[in-house]
Amino acid sequence: MEKRILGLDPGLAILGFGAITCKQNPTQVQDTTIDMLDFGVIRTSADAEMSQRLCTLFDDLHTLIQELQPDLVAIEKLFFYRMSSTILVAQARGVVMLVLGQHRLPYIEFTPAQIKQALTGYGNADKSEVQAAVARELNLDAVPKPDDAADGLAVALTASFQL
- Active site amino acids: 9, 76, 148
Q: Which long-range contacts (CB under 8 A, 24 or more apart) does 112-120 make?
A: 112/76, 112/77, 112/79, 114/158, 115/76, 115/154, 115/155, 115/158, 118/157, 118/158, 118/161, 119/154, 119/157, 119/158
Spatial contact of 163 and 9, defined as CB atoms under 8 Å apart: no
